[in-house]
């Protein structure tokens, strides 16, 4: 069996931000692939670099205060990190589209929803007649299950509720049938019953043809909606794998800690095991493995390699990768923890 070429291939993505007179590194060589039609989750806490990753892919980093120190992101054969603005615009909104946490960041408050979606379609399909544009827009509006598409067409974004606005933004994102949809915390600001509606719409409306990169801090959402998952910590990818494998048998102590930190709704399980300390500040990252000061495994084994050497991302059992010097000790440590 030959592996198909990835739709998006990010390699060694390294991004820095200016603070005072120096450059702080926010991403340290991030690499991952997204294949045609799959949903990939990117999870991490504040400072993990998940949002910076997305912003660099979309060319949304502030030009003056940030810089691309290294890396490439090849989408359909072209490095989108180095495209001229005009060409990037041609891809953005057509082949790659985005859904944000705050719909007002991509909807213009002074134009009707219908006008904005029609414009998004027209920009990439010049020469469509007014009637065809209107028809296509109405079709997109009904695909995101806005109750009265014709009415929604001539509604201003502020007249919608949060959930409806999120649907309008999804409509705009899928209007040109993108091959890759990047969703950055798309339901974080929404109530849980509305979140369920919006996720359902997002999954159904994009259809089977397009891939999705779902950035979230919600492990439940990842478990439910993704095929593969990328776990980030302090600007690095620390574990990847199929969602089923990573959740069933996390091989990085941080991933394991994250999963043990969330109370379960389904069962009144035992006491939570928090990860001690807090995510590090990118201005003062710990040496070696950035997670070592919070790591239970390091605490137990005190191996100097964790303090001295950044662990490489190496194949883990199953289909993924893990960046931990002591991952081979993880299974036994867990059993020890359970027996004590």
CB of 9 to other proteins, least distance (A): 25
User: Residue 158 class from Cβ within 10 Å (0-12 exposed, 13-18 middle, 19+ buried)?
Assistant: exposed
> In the complex, which residues of this chain contact other proteins (CB under 8 A)?
45-46, 147, 161, 163-164, 191-197, 199-200, 217-221, 223-225, 243-244, 247-248, 257-266, 268, 271-276, 278-279, 294
Q: How many CB atoms lie within 10 A of CB 153?
A: 18
- The per-residue b/e assignment along 248-274, b for 16 or more CB within 10 angstroms, e otherwise, is ebbbbbbbbbbebeeeeeeeeeeeeee
∠ Cα 192 105 186 (to 5°): 30
CB of 169 to other proteins, least distance (A): 16
Q: Which is nearer to other proteins, 231 or 326 (CB)?
A: 231
Q: Which is nearer to other proteins, 195 or 240 (CB)?
A: 195
d(CA 185, CA 172) in angstroms, rounded, equals 17
Q: Which is nearer to other proteins, 26 or 73 (CB)?
A: 26
Q: Which is nearer to other proteins, 29 or 279 (CB)?
A: 279
Look at the alpha carbons of 122, 124, 127, 128 in this order and tell me if their dihedral is positive or negative. Answer: negative
Q: Which is nearer to other proteins, 59 or 280 (CB)?
A: 280
User: Residue 193 class from Cβ within 10 Å (0-12 exposed, 13-18 middle, 19+ buried)?
Assistant: exposed
CB of 286 to other proteins, least distance (A): 15
Q: Which is nearer to other proteins, 115 or 247 (CB)?
A: 247
CB of 21 to other proteins, least distance (A): 22
CB of 114 to other proteins, least distance (A): 20
Residue 302 · residue 69 · CB < 8 Å: no
d(CA 214, CA 222) in angstroms, rounded, equals 8
CB of 217 to other proteins, least distance (A): 6
């Amino acid at each position: 069996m030959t592996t198909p070429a990835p739709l998006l291939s990010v390699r060694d993505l390294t991004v820095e931000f200016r603070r005072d007179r120096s450059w702080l590194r926010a991403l340290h060589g991030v690499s991952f692939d997204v294949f045609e039609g799959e949903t990939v989750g990117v999870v991490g806490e504040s400072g993990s670099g998940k949002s910076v990753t997305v912003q660099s892919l979309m060319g949304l980093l502030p030009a003056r205060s940030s810089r691309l120190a290294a890396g490439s992101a090849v989408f359909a054969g072209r490095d989108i990190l180095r495209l001229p603005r005009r060409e990037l615009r041609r891809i953005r909104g057509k082949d790659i589209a985005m859904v944000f946490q705050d719909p007002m960041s991509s909807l213009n408050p002074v134009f009707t929803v219908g006008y904005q979606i029609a414009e998004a379609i027209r920009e990439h399909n010049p020469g469509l007649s007014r009637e065809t544009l209107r028809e296509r827009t109405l079709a997109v509006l009904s695909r995101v299950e806005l109750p009265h598409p014709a009415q929604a067409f001539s509604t201003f974004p502020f007249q919608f509720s949060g959930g409806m606005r999120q649907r309008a933004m999804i409509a705009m994102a899928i209007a040109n049938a993108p091959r890759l949809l990047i969703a950055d915390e798309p339901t974080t600001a929404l109530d849980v019953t509305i979140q369920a509606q919006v996720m359902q719409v997002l999954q159904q409306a994009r259809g089977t043809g397009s891939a999705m990169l779902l950035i979230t801090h919600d492990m439940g959402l990842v478990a439910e909606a993704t095929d593969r998952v990328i776990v980030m910590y302090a600007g690095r990818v620390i574990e990847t794998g199929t969602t089923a494998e990573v959740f069933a048998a996390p091989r990085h102590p941080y991933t394991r800690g994250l999963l043990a930190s969330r109370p379960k709704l389904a069962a009144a399980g035992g006491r939570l095991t928090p990860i001690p300390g807090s995510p590090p500040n990118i201005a003062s990252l710990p040496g070696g493995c950035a997670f070592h000061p919070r790591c239970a495994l390091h605490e137990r084994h005190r191996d100097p390699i964790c303090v001295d050497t950044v662990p490489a991302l190496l194949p883990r059992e199953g289909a993924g990768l893990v960046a931990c010097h002591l991952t081979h000790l993880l299974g036994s440590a867990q059993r020890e923890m359970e027996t004590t």
